[in-house]
Amino acid sequence: MKKAFTIIEISILTVILIIVGCLIIPFSINDTMQASRVLEWRALQDRVNHAFSAASVYGIKDFKEFEIIMLKSISDSEYKKIKPYKIKYMNGHTASGIGNFTNVYEVADDNIIGFKWNDSDNSDRLGMMFYDINGSKGPNRWGKDVFGVNIYRKKIEPLCANKPHEEIKADCSPSGTGCCCSYYYLVGGNF
């Protein structure tokens, strides 16, 4: 009758536990970081909606004035304009078109906010705004730490808010652009 484990059995069990731990811990850490970013995005979305409502009450005369109102509402401290900012899609491709924001600012806690305005006066959609939750630290990818809204004459809404759910879910995946995550996470989508 065997009364105790041998050193070899204990060593094998220890190695197995270490391997399992090494496989599980990175996923847990990434999920925790993403959950934190999504919570911050949800809180920011509330502030953006409030700022837009306040800006609408005062009657905005031009885009620059709107930017300043949004920047002051979102950032509790100073902000400074920075050079154009490179954002990648969730799938790793360089963001073209949607990534060309010309008015980009560093705000509180090294976060980054950018605006891109339509040239056409005929469109109800005036432009877009993005917000990088953790600034230049990375990964600087749509749906990971970068989220955005469309700015209309009478409302603001997260990117992809008018698309079908399946299309939004597909875009908010490792093979998608990640732009639709701006809306997907606000309506309870998983990462």
At 99 the three-state DSSP class reads: coil
Pairing of strands 125-132, 112-117: antiparallel
Domain spans of the chain, in order of start: 33-184
pLDDT band at 47 (very low <50, low <70, confident <90, very high): confident
Q: Is there a contact between 91 and 175 (Cβ–Cβ < 8 Å)?
A: yes
116-132: per-residue pLDDT in tens?
888 766 677 888 888 88
Q: In the predicted model, is pLDDT for residue 50 greater than 90?
A: no
How large is the angle between the packed helices 7-58 and 63-74, nearest 10 degrees?
A: 130
Residue, of 71 and 179, whose pLDDT is higher: 179
Q: Which residues contact 159 (CB under 8 A, 6 or more apart)?
A: 128, 147, 148, 149, 150, 179, 180, 182, 183
Decide which of 81 and 59 is more confident: 81
d(CA 49, CA 41): 12
The two tokens of residue 33 are: 């970081």
Q: pLDDT-based confidence at 78, cuts 50/70/90?
A: confident
Given this model, what pLDDT does residue 102 score?
Answer: 80
Q: What confidence category does residue 98 fall into, taking pLDDT thresholds of 50, 70 and 90?
A: low
99 Cα distance to chain centroid = 13
Q: What's the mean per-residue pLDDT of the chain?
A: 79
- Name the pTM for this structure: 0.75
CA dihedral 111, 147, 98, 112 (to 10 degrees): -10
Q: What is the phi/psi pair of residue 75, to 5°?
A: -105, 130
Pairing of strands 146-152, 125-132: antiparallel
Tell me which of 184 and 58 has the higher pLDDT.
184
